[in-house]
Amino acid sequence: MIGRIALVAFASVVVLFYLPFLALGYYITGGGELKMPSFSMVATTFLLAALTAVVSIAVAYPAAYYLAKRGSELEFALLTAPLWVGTLLKAYSLLVLFAIVERYTGVVLWGTAAGVLAGMVYEYLPYALLTLYAAIEKLSESPVNAARVLGASRLQAFLRVELPLTMPGVAAAFILVFLFAMGEVIMPAVLGAWKVYTFGSYVWDLYFKARDIFSGSVMSLILAALSLLATYIVVRTIRSISI
Amino acid sequence: MRPLRLYTWALIVALYVPIGLIVLLSFNNSKLPYVWGGFTLRWYEALFRWEQAWQAILNSVIIALAVSFTATFLGIFMAYILRKDKYLAVSQVAMVMPEVSEALAFAAALWLVKTYAGIDLFGPVGVFLAHLAYTLPMAHVLLTPYVAYVSRSVVEAARILGASELKAMFSVVMPILMPAFVATFLIVFANSFDTYIKTAFTTSPGFVTAPILLWNYAARGRGDPTIYALATFMLIPSLVAAAIYFRAVKRYS
């Protein structure tokens, strides 16, 4: 009986989540004129996503290192709690912050790539942090101790022993954040004021403005395939860490 | 470690400044975000009188309640029975799928249903199903680690004493998993309450939820103190969820 309930639930995951992708296939076979995204838009998306990943990792790494070594539960909870706040709320609160910053410093962030970058880093920082934390926590102390005994300074031991050992975690965090950032819609729309145009916004506009389901389906399938590939790589890297 | 600790706390402060600002500004007696005009509750009064906002919040709460209850309840069965990696992988893949692709696929499926079966699901039903589609895998993945705390002997003892499978599930497994159930319920609730993209793709113009209302202002870059009050209201489920989540999960460590 309980096995049957579980199977029904599992079947609804497949029907509700995976079956709709077949509907995309249906619209693709229906044919139409494929509206390719412009090169500059794809380039902007890639660059923004890569930069978001690099900046989030750079900002999150020291905190993840501290958390894994000495962090308290409170610090961990405070750093990961923003995960539960919705993207739109974060975007809106940054919008207000940008208005205040502009007023006092004259630095314009709204409608610029820098503003969108700040928003995406704000959103994806907890993800980078959690992935890095998982990688750093798994490190054993002995390689560092060995390096220290052999005369390495603390900094040398970190740079030449610990950092290379956490590189798989860094790679996993990079791919994860890069992937999420590639499909991002809300931050570019709210903080970029539709001036910073990305792949996610393009898919959005194809459906809501151009009403072109055919091109939209092709684009979302490409995005979904990319994400599957990236997930596969992440899972592979994470598994290699534990071995 | 000392500088690292300072750095970590600086980061924590930075993470909460934008959210804190919205809350602060919702009590600001001035229409300009950079002028502090004293404490006031008038934006909340305006929000209380704004019927559309109430309707939107109510819609969001109803959808989120229905979604989180269904997803978590079914999620426990999935987590308890389908523990193997291959089942889990199906749910994990669903969790990392880009939101736009997923939402567009769902909208396309709803269009097909509308065209061929003549059933128009856009609106509350579509939103509910779209939310369920991504929260079910989420509940499955989130609950699975905690199933290990239900030891086999307890369940077997209940079965030997005459409990049916279902009875053992409800009176033995579920109570042990209660804190995890509550934690997952809250995460799913906060998530469903806040989701904008999937709602936008599957709703009808007549069914407005709180994030959709917020978007109508945010996408145009409008700052209005009543919207700050609305945003503050929308923060409540997330903050409550985060606070209770860490307490509930702690019981297992």
Mean pLDDT on A126-146: 87
pLDDT at residue A242 greater than cutoff 60: no
Nearest residue to A85 via CA among A43, A38, A125: A125
Average predicted confidence (pLDDT) for chain A: 87
pLDDT at residue B178 greater than cutoff 50: yes
Q: What is the pLDDT of residues B12-34, one digit of tens each?
A: 999 999 999 999 988 988 888 78
The residue ranges of DSSP E strands in chain B, in sequence order, are none
The A residues from 36 to 75 touching B (CB cutoff 8 Å) are: 59, 62-63, 65-67, 69-71, 73, 75
Nearest residue to B187 via CA among A172, A15, A84: A84
Mutate to test the interface with A, among B5, B26, B100, B201 (most CBs of A within 10 A): B100
Task: Answer left, alpha or beta for residue B118, where phi above 0 means left and psi between -120 and 50 means alpha.
Answer: left
Q: Which CATH architecture has domain A37-242?
A: Orthogonal Bundle (1.10)
Asked if B215's CB is within 8 angstroms of A213's CB, the reply is no
| B50-250 carries CATH number 1.10.3720.10 | yes
**Band of the pLDDT at B222, cuts 50, 70, 90?**
low
Q: How far is A123 from chain B (nearest CA, A)?
A: 9
Question: Percent of chain B scored above 70 by pLDDT?
Answer: 98
Contact (Cβ atoms closer than 8 angstroms) between residue B121 and residue B139: no
**Residues in CB range of B58: below 8 A, 6 or more apart:** none
**ipTM for this model:** 0.87
pLDDT at residue B112 greater than cutoff 80: yes
Tell me the one-letter amino acid at B95. M
The A residues from 217 to 236 touching B (CB cutoff 8 Å) are: 217, 220-221, 223-224, 227-228, 231
Question: In this complex, which of B105, B137, B228 lies closest to A20 when CB atoms are compared?
Answer: B105
Contact (Cβ atoms closer than 8 angstroms) between residue B194 and residue B212: no
Q: How far is B78 from chain A (nearest CA, A)?
A: 5
Q: How far is B111 from chain A (nearest CA, A)?
A: 9
pLDDT at residue A243 greater than cutoff 50: no
Average predicted confidence (pLDDT) for chain B: 88
What is the residue whose two structure tokens read 């991002």?
A184
The pLDDT of residue B223 is 67
* Paired residues of B28 in beta bridges: B39
Question: Percent of chain B scored above 90 by pLDDT?
Answer: 39
**Measuring CA to CA, how many Å separate B145 from each of A239, B141, B183?**
17, 8, 13
Question: In this complex, which of B9, B98, B132 lies closest to A183 when CB atoms are compared?
Answer: B98
Residues of B in contact with A195 (CB under 8 A): none
Mean pLDDT on A102-117: 89
The C-alpha atoms of residue B42 and residue B36 are separated, in whole angstroms, by 14
Q: How far is B228 from chain A (nearest CA, A)?
A: 9
Question: In this complex, which of A12, A24, A186 lies closest to B196 when CB atoms are compared?
Answer: A186
Q: Does A108 touch chain B (CB under 8 A)?
A: no
Q: Does B252 touch chain A (CB under 8 A)?
A: no
The pLDDT of residue B135 is 94
pLDDT at residue A240 greater than cutoff 70: no
Task: Give the range among B65-69, B76-80, B137-141, B214-218 with minimum mean pLDDT.
Answer: B214-218
**Residues in CB range of B164: below 8 A, 6 or more apart:** A1
**Measuring CA to CA, how many Å separate A184 from each of A86, A221, A239, B34?**
13, 15, 27, 29
Q: Does A17 touch chain B (CB under 8 A)?
A: yes
Residue of B nearest to A9 (CA): B74
pLDDT at residue B251 greater than cutoff 80: no
Domain boundaries, chain A: 37-242
Q: B63-67 long-range CB contacts below 8 Å, 24 or more apart? A: B63/B124, B63/B127, B63/B128, B63/B131, B63/B192, B63/B209, B64/B131, B64/B188, B64/B189, B64/B190, B64/B192, B64/B193, B64/B237, B65/B189, B66/B128, B67/B128, B67/B131, B67/B132, B67/B135, B67/B188, B67/B189, B67/B192
Phi, psi of B242 (to 5 degrees): -60, -45
Q: How far is B103 from chain A (nearest CA, A)?
A: 9
Report which listed range, A16-25, A57-66, A98-107, B240-249, is most confident: A57-66
Model pTM?
0.87
Question: In this complex, which of B99, B100, B246 lies closest to A77 when CB atoms are compared?
Answer: B246
pLDDT at residue B238 greater than cutoff 50: yes
